[in-house]
Amino acid sequence: MNISVFCGASLPHSKQITEAARQLGRAIARGGHTLLYGGSNLGLMGAMSGAALQEGGRVVGVIPTFFSDDIIHSQPVSELVRVRTLAERKEYLIAHSDAFVALPGGIGTLDEVLEVMVANQLHHLGKPMILLNLGGYYNPFLAQLDAMRAEGLLRSDAGLVAVSSVEEIFKLLAAGAAEIS
């Protein structure tokens, strides 16, 4: 299974989040899955992809060409895909992945999550979008989605599932419970 992980190129204050990124990378590799991600060696991206590579996993980095060559070539990956823009990176990740996971992140991560949710809601995608809601990080976002639903502005969950551990991600994927109809 190709699993795209949305996360930032920054390190959070929480060591729990950084360790979860490493744990996720290791779990993807140990499960025989391919990790697709934003292509950086910095922050959570670097922690996660480095852990996957250390476990012998296949790692595909998708990075826009507007980043410097130092950044583009700084992370060893199994395959490096160069695209022109952030929009093309999202397009590539969405087209080449079977499932999506978002670690706690910033506005770029949230943008990627919303892109998948919109495609699911419009029935253009039908792939699971899993939030790793460590320590309730995404609770305000989930509350906003509930408010949208209550107001009649969100018709479905758009394939979104929130979990609180890396283990739950793989239980969902193995059971097919995160599949979208």
- Above 90 in pLDDT, residue 41? no
Q: Is 117 domain-assigned?
A: yes
Evaluate whether 87 touches 80 at the Cβ level (below 8 Å).
no
Evaluate whether 42 touches 9 at the Cβ level (below 8 Å).
yes
Q: Is 163 domain-assigned?
A: yes
Q: Is 85 domain-assigned?
A: yes
pLDDT at 122: 87
Q: Is 89 domain-assigned?
A: yes
Q: Is 134 domain-assigned?
A: yes
pLDDT at 72: 65
- Above 80 in pLDDT, residue 73? no
pLDDT at 135: 94
- Above 70 in pLDDT, residue 177? no
pLDDT digits (tens, 9 = 90+) for 94-140: 999 999 999 999 999 999 999 999 999 888 888 999 999 999 999 99
Number of domains in the chain: 1
Mean pLDDT for the chain?
91
Lowest mean pLDDT among 1-5, 41-45, 84-88, 137-141: 41-45
Percent of the chain with pLDDT over 70: 93
DSSP 121-151: HTTS----EEEE-GGGTTHHHHHHHHHHHHT
Q: Is 181 domain-assigned?
A: no
Q: Minimal CA–CA distance to 106: which of 52, 45, 48?
A: 45
The domain of 76 spans 2-175
pLDDT digits (tens, 9 = 90+) for 86-95: 999 999 999 9
Q: Is 79 domain-assigned?
A: yes
CATH of the domain at 55: 3.40.50.450
pLDDT at 54: 96
pLDDT at 125: 86
pLDDT at 79: 92
Q: How confident is the model at residue 180 (pLDDT cuts 50, 70, 90)?
A: very low
Q: Is 180 domain-assigned?
A: no
